[in-house]
Amino acid sequence: MAPLAARLGGQDIDAPHEETERRLRGLADEGLPIRVVVYPDAEHGMYEFELAPDGTRLSTRQPPDYFAAMRDFILGGRTRRGPGGQDSATVFRHCRMCLNPSRAP
């Protein structure tokens, strides 16, 4: 199986990340090469947001290093960055990134 890089929004109300993480953990536990990054302040479209006075979400920006992380994965087949530009080892410890730590870069 080709490596899978899943990017999930921690504030996603359309497809809450918890169930997706649970399912991906099951696959990673079977040895599949799956990497997951949860961007805690992003919604479904991978946008961070601010709340308008009426409570609606106003998309403002992509999470920091989102596109760099995708580029690195596409070019190298591995996740090398995560929120804040940390290296993978840091992200694995702090962002619930890798569901299969034995496959960490």
Tens-level pLDDT at each residue, the chain (105 residues): 788 888 999 999 999 999 999 999 889 889 898 888 889 999 999 999 999 999 999 999 999 888 888 888 888 765 544 454 443 333 333 334 444 444 433
The predicted model scores a pTM of: 0.67
CA distance 101 to 97: 9
Q: What are phi and psi of 4, to 5 degrees?
A: -120, 130
Task: Return the pLDDT at 40.
Answer: 92
Reduced to 3 DSSP states, what percent helix, strand and coil does the chain have, rounded to the nearest 5?
35, 25, 40
Residue 4 CB burial class (10 angstroms; 0-12, 13-18, ≥19):
middle
CA distance 32 to 45: 25
CA distance 50 to 30: 39
